[in-house]
Amino acid sequence: MTGKVVKVLDGDTIVILLSGNKQERIRLLDIDAPEKGQPFGDKSKQYLSDMVAGKTVRIEYKERDQYGRILGTVFVDGKIVNEEMVKVGLAWQYYYSKNKRFAEFEAEAKRKRLNIFSDPNAINPYLYRRGIK
């Protein structure tokens, strides 16, 4: 599917406008960005916004999550947005993701101490949402 990004909610969720004025909420597959209120939460959202806001993106997906969001891979300007977010250290690989490429991107960002990985006390959002600090 393709649509224009009309809103960036956080570092891993966008809203796109489809033909017929239908909006869809897209949760970027395989990644987990810092929550609002977490260190780098605003920076992650801003980076994603700079990449996709107002642009037409292509989404590949197979399913929706329990909240009705499409779980998708987002493509824009020749880039895979999901991968870029992890590569620059502004998202973790999602806790349950088995995608080896994302594990490699995260390991490299950690090695380089990029953004969230520059903080030795950074808490994965999956654990943060569960109150584990």
pLDDT in tens, 80-104: 999 999 999 999 999 999 999 999 9
* pLDDT classification of 131: cutoffs 50, 70, 90: confident
pTM for this predicted structure: 0.94
Catalytic residue among 69, 83, 84, 106: 69
129 as an active site residue: the answer is no
The per-residue pLDDT for range 31-62, each reduced to its tens digit, is: 999 999 899 999 999 999 999 999 999 999 99
pLDDT score, position 89: 98
Residue 111 falls in the annotated catalytic set: no
83 with 94: CB under 8 angstroms? no
Is 101 part of the annotated catalytic residue set? no
Residue 33 has phi, psi (to 5 degrees) of: -90, 160
Domain layout of the chain by residue ranges: 2-129
From 25, 35, 101, 108, active-site residue: 35
Whether 1 shows a pLDDT value over 70: the answer reads yes
pLDDT of residue 132: 73
Mean pLDDT of the region 12-27: 97
- Per the listing, tokens 């006390």 go with 121
- 114: exposed, middle or buried (C-beta count within 10 Å: 0-12, 13-18, 19+)? middle
Mean pLDDT of the chain: 96
In this structure, CATH architecture of domain 2-129: Beta Barrel (2.40)
Is the C-alpha dihedral spanning 59, 64, 69, 71 positive or negative?
Answer: negative
pLDDT at 57: 98
